[in-house]
Structure 1
């Protein structure tokens, strides 16, 4: 089942227009679209400005709905891993899940937390590797033949 997606790029809203709109939103209290005027909350203003700033810098923006409960394939796609690899992580207890019937269901929060912890583990590992680097020690290679 395809999810509705909004793709925004400089083809839709030009970089100059995005920058002007973002600047105009800085102190705006309402936004009018057609005949409809909407009061902006601080959060809505912040999100809109972030989207417009990204467009102004030439980046593409994709807006997709977020469901709270994901299938294993949806969760694997978010983590950019295969579904069998995700199932191994689930069965190893690395990511919590529910199995109300035959199929596993994973909360979006659990995926977001796992993704953040994975990023943190990578950062710590790369920092440790950088700390271990000694420019005075020459690189060594091992011949295998």
Structure 2
């Protein structure tokens, strides 16, 4: 999903998240759910706990008004997808690949990068940003700048 939920969807997501969370706490590793299809037929589903946990996380994000996109951890990303994930321009991302900062491989004339590698770089970047912010905060305290 790449669109932002409307207010009705946000409210429904919040309610569904609470219901699923309560269901998860009450059951074990396998959860049985009955779903009524558009044809009125009842379908019984057996879902693993990990699938319910993922649905709860998706609903929680939707309930906060966020759009959600799911990428498999082993997924291969195009350079544009990876650049979007890092909120940077594709040419900037290509420079990271060319400099060896992010591992990648080629299939024909196209570059591919693993979702896990982009996630690793993003976490590393976030960590450096937080460290710099901590340093600035400490310097602010030391100099009593009041920011």
Q: Give the TM-score taking structure 2 as reference length.
A: 0.73
Deviates more, 1:118-127 or 1:8-17: 8-17
Could you tell me which residue of structure 2 aligns to residue 142 of structure 1? none
Asked if structure 2 preserves the Cα contact closer than 8 Å seen for 1:70 and 1:107, the reply is yes
| Greater C-alpha radius of gyration | 1
Gaps of 5+ in 1: 140-145
Show structure 2 runs of 5+ residues with no match.
37-41
Equivalent of residue 128 in structure 1, options 96, 112, 135: 135
Q: Which residue of 2 aligns with 1:60?
A: 66
Q: Pick from 92, 97, 100: which aligns with 1:93?
A: 100
| Structure with the largest fraction of helix | 2
**Matching of residues 83-122 of structure 1 within 5 Å:** 83-122=90-129
Deviation digits for residues 75-115 of structure 1 (CA, Å, limit 9, x no counterpart): 11111101110011111111001023212111111111111
Corresponding residue for residue 39 of structure 1: 46
Cα RMSD over matched residues? 2.7
Report the counterpart of residue 75 of structure 1 in structure 2: 82
Residue equivalent to 2:8: 11
CA distance in 2, matches of 1:114, 1:22: 33
Give the length in aligned residue pairs.
134
